[in-house]
Amino acid sequence: MLFYMPLESSAYPLALSERRWLRYFAFFYLYVMQGIPAGFGLYTLANYLTAHQISPAAVGVFAATVGLPWSFQFIWGPLIDKYQQSTMGRRRPWVLLAQTLALLASLGLLVVDDPIRELSSLQLAFFVHSVFASVQDASVDALAISVIPENERGRLTAVMRGGFLGGISLGSAGLAVVLHAYGFHAAVWTQSLVLLSLTVLTFFIKERPEQALLSMKQIPFVQASLPSARGLFRELFQGLTEKRSLRLFIPILLYYGCQAVFSRAYSVHLIQRLGWSDTDVSVLQGTLGTLVVIAVVLLGGIIADRMGAQRLMGRVMLGAGLFLVTFNLLHIYWHELPVGRTGLVALSMMDPSFSVASMPVLMALCRKSVEGSQFTAYMAMVNLTDITGAYVSGQAQMSVSAPVLGAVCGVVILVAALLVWLPYPWTRWQTKIASPKTGNEV
């Protein structure tokens, strides 16, 4: 049984391999789709729970539950690499399947009537949604590494991360307003309708012009000519544990973990200690975050391509570490509105400015035979670090203040920056990775 929409013309305008503008547009909105539910759960609802005097530890558990499935990506990556051929493209069938399931799971949030009284049900519903969202993320990552030319990786990874953070901003600021004005179900419907519209758009975008828009067969995927599952995982393990990989990836994990710890602690401090409303915090995180993301997308990727991503990564880490130490030493001024907003702006900058440098570095470390799986595994560990950071932050705040946590995080990031810059004993593994088309150092 085959339903086939060929549109086989090589002039088909919506093929990622043929149109640079389409790659920028498509990867931006594909990551916006992932960011909106994350912003809704990890910011809007987390701040909402905090404002209703749910303990930091309980909010930390909620955030960890929402994010936990994203650490499963190391499972989805090899599966996507193993079954990657169809008349619809290598990765696109996975993207469409995951988007559809994530949309249905978003509608499943409607089973919760009161997020405060039904916290366990809320956590379970978000966990289910995050499972399908993590498959979507893994499939989009695999699509990206397959179709993005190496000389565009810096700018396009900035667009990808910018889309994700822009989606978080929309989910945080936009859905916070809807939640307080019209209720939880209205916010869920708003999120689901946005996801539906963007899923429909994906049906009209191909990887390559000769592929089908839609094809339904009894066996939807043809097994790719790849090693056995054991061989694939062995190759993946070797790629992840190479000395050069560890020497760069461990500092990346330290950065993301510290950022997650302080970001959660700072929001709780503003709401429960300084009396900010959860709506104000969510809206400021969203609106300021959107402006910062736009600036980073426009400039960060270009700088990464020209300066070299690894060099830029080290400088961003140095700047972030110095800021956290200084800002937390001046915590007595946080009650001043300009200072409080400055903290939110800086936290909004930390992720995108670092991601535009670290993502091309991780892409360059991937082995060609398992590039999709390896990059997805990197992202899974980054996500797990974010989750762990949110959980640790909630537990630590029971006995340690936010300024102390922030200062410690700043020191850890400075140490991680030294690991990136230290020339010895890592010099022989610090080989410049250059794009064959541009010669730019990664």
Contact call for residues 254 and 246 (beta carbons, < 8 A): no
Q: What is the pLDDT of residue 300?
A: 64
CATH class belonging to 11-213+221-429: mainly alpha
What's the mean per-residue pLDDT of the chain? Answer: 79
Contact call for residues 392 and 261 (beta carbons, < 8 A): yes
List phi, psi (to 5°) of 280: -60, -45
The tokens for 409 are 């995080």
The CA-CA-CA angle for residues 337, 354, 391, to 5°, reads 70
146 compared with 253, residue with greater pLDDT = 253
Query: In 3-state terms, what secondary structure has residue 426?
Result: coil
Q: CA-to-CA distance for 434 and 421, rounded, in angstroms?
A: 18
Q: What is the pLDDT of residue 232?
A: 64
Residue at token pair 């762990």: 388
Considering the chain, what percentage of its residues have pLDDT values greater than 70? 79
CA 318 to chain centroid: 22
Four-CA torsion 278, 282, 288, 293, nearest 10 degrees:
160
Considering the chain, what percentage of its residues have pLDDT values greater than 90? 23
Q: How far apart are the first and last CA of the chain?
A: 47
Q: What is the pLDDT of residue 261?
A: 93
Tell me the mean pLDDT in the region 99-106.
92
Q: What is the pLDDT of residue 92?
A: 82
Q: CA-to-CA distance for 433 and 425, rounded, in angstroms?
A: 19
Q: Please report, for residues 4, 132, 270, 272, 408, the alpha-carbon distance to residue 401 in angstroms, rounded to integers and kept in the order given.
A: 60, 36, 12, 12, 11
224 compared with 386, residue with greater pLDDT = 386
pLDDT category at 145 given cuts 50, 70, 90 is: confident
Q: What is the pLDDT of residue 62?
A: 87
pLDDT category at 178 given cuts 50, 70, 90 is: very high
111 compared with 375, residue with greater pLDDT = 111
> Residue ranges per domain, the chain?
11-213+221-429
Tell me the mean pLDDT in the region 15-38.
86
Q: CA-to-CA distance for 236 and 233, rounded, in angstroms?
A: 5
Cite the DSSP H helix spans in 148-228. 153-169, 175-182, 184-202
Strand 215-216 vs strand 222-223: parallel, antiparallel, or unpaired? unpaired
Query: From the CB of residue 244, how many other CB atoms can be counted at a distance below 10 Å?
Result: 15
Q: CA-to-CA distance for 361 and 155, rounded, in angstroms?
A: 13
Query: From the CB of residue 85, how many other CB atoms can be counted at a distance below 10 Å?
Result: 13
Quick: pLDDT tens for 298-321: 666 666 667 777 888 888 999 999
Tell me the sheet residues that pair with 85: 222
Amino acid at 322: L
Q: Please report, for residues 321, 326, 399, the alpha-carbon distance to residue 409 in angstroms, rounded to integers and kept in the order given.
A: 8, 12, 16
